[in-house]
Amino acid sequence: MGKKTTLEKNLTYSLELKQSSGSPFVERLLELAAAEKQGSKTKTEFWKKGDFIPAADGIILRAVQPFDREPYLVLQEHYCLMKSMIKEESFREMLWEEHNEDRALMMTVIKGNEYIGYCGIKDTTKDSWEIVIELMPEWTGMGIGTAAMTAMLNELGKRLNVTSFAVKIDPDNTASQKLFERLGAVPDGLDTIFIHKEEDLLRCEEDNLHLIDERLTALASKFEVEPRRLLSHVLVYHLRWN
């Protein structure tokens, strides 16, 4: 077993914590309904201007289709943090439904007829649009991420006039860091994932101090934070696309 990423460490600790607070159920339902309506409008506006987006090297971005379900779930078997649940059909259906939510503007990445992965915006109802991208492991390291991101960002600017984005990356994911830095993303702080209480974050850090190495120290310097904070947080980049 390799060392856990920051996301995996956060998930482990979050599963240990008891969740005892939250907004009332009815209020939450109303919030979700409003978000879905707003997201649906944005998604319709985007795709009515063209169903296919050509990228470099024969890469195509298109709207998610029902037949993407199986390859998408294969992709999740590689990257999903909750490995013990990925074989359960109810969990797989939940992942697929989230991928298709109206507020999630997702694009399938293909080459020829082969499913390569997806990219998109996690939630278009938020003030800050967060970019997400996942590619099949066998297709990484070939420049496809750069091609897909460039095409997607160009179209988001043309179709929706959106040019400012956030990207959240695990401190151990050096490939994604390099990808977005090449695209012009700059450090913009840290964020928490799964757990948020300071005492729990500190506990997570204390238990993993032995993982701090030269690479993590250099990365912390770039983000102007203590190295230990990268054991409990993810990196946040800001990307302005012109």
For the chain, domain boundaries: 52-162
pLDDT at 64: 98
pLDDT at 1: 43
Residue 195: phi and psi, rounded to 5, are -120, 150
Contact between residue 73 and residue 96 where contact means Cβ atoms under 8 Å apart:
yes
pLDDT tens-digit profile of 22-66?
557 777 777 777 888 899 999 999 999 999 999 999 999 999 999
Average pLDDT, the chain: 90
CATH class of 52-162: alpha beta
pLDDT at 4: 54
Among 207, 233, 201, CA closest to 220: 233
pLDDT tens-digit profile of 154-167?
999 999 999 999 99
Give the chain's residues under pLDDT 70.
Answer: 1-23
Characterize 206-240 residue by residue with b for buried, 16 or more Cβ atoms within 10 angstroms of its Cβ, and e for exposed.
eebeebbeeebeebbeebebebbbbbbbbbbbbbe
What whole-number distance in Å separates Cα of residue 72 and Cα of residue 102? 17
pLDDT at 84: 82
pLDDT at 29: 77
**pTM of the complete model:** 0.84
